[in-house]
């Protein structure tokens, strides 16, 4: 999961984007990685994806779990893939490319909502 996600770093952002050739948004990136790496279909918006899986405490995060943020004044408006060491891969509209960031970053920590796992 982590290798697939890291392989998308620097891919261009596109709202509604579902594949790296055309560009990815946050939920498109998650859907693409989960499908390719694990054969798990996670479709829809970040909020739709958050309705699946089960909640996991931050202290128990594992690589491949998803982290959700309120970045647009609405719950679960952004999602990223946790890769370990308090870092995650995501496709932000700002700066226009898939990148890694830290959960400890003050901007993201203030907007963090929950983490969810889709694995046993």
The string of pLDDT tens digits covering residues 43-94 is: 999 999 999 999 999 999 999 999 999 999 999 999 999 999 999 999 999 8
- pLDDT > 70: percent of the chain: 100
Q: Is residue 95 over pLDDT 90?
A: no
Going from N- to C-terminal start, the domains of the chain cover 2-117
Q: Is the dihedral of CA 73, 50, 16, 14 positive or negative?
A: positive
**Mean pLDDT of all residues belonging to the chain:** 96
Query: Token pair of 24, please?
Result: 């990815």
Taking the whole predicted model, whether its pTM rises above 0.85 is answered as: yes
| Residue 23, token pair as written in the block | 């560009």
Active site positions, annotated: 26, 78, 90
The pLDDT value recorded for residue 110 is 97
Residue 16: per-residue pLDDT: 95
Q: How far is it, in rounded angstroms, from Cα 54 to Cα 60?
A: 12
Taking CA atoms, 115 is separated from 16, 19, 53, 74, 97, in Å, by 22, 24, 10, 16, 22
Cβ partners under 8 Å of residue 85, min gap 6: none
Predicted local confidence at residue 94, as pLDDT:
85
Token reading at 35: 């499908």
Alpha carbon 110 to its chain centroid, in Å, reads: 17
Asked if pLDDT for residue 7 goes beyond 90, the answer is yes
CATH number of the domain located at residue range(s) 2-117 in this protein? 3.90.1720.10
DSSP state of 60: G
Q: If you average pLDDT over residues 36-40, what whole number do you get?
A: 96
Q: For position 108, what pLDDT does the model report?
A: 97
Query: What is the greatest pairwise CA distance in the chain?
Result: 35
């Amino acid at each position: 999961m982590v290798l697939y996600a890291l392989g998308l770093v620097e891919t261009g952002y596109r709202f509604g984007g579902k594949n790296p050739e055309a560009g990815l948004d946050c939920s498109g990136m998650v859907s693409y990685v989960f499908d390719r790496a694990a054969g798990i279909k996670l479709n829809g918006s970040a909020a739709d994806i958050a309705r699946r899986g089960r909640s996991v405490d931050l202290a128990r995060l594992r690589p491949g779990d998803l982290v959700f943020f309120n970045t647009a004044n609405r719950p679960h408006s952004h999602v990223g893939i946790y890769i370990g060491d308090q870092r995650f891969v995501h496709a932000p509209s700002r700066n226009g490319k898939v990148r890694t960031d830290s959960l400890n970053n003050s901007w993201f920590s203030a907007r963090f909502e929950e983490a969810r796992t889709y694995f046993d």
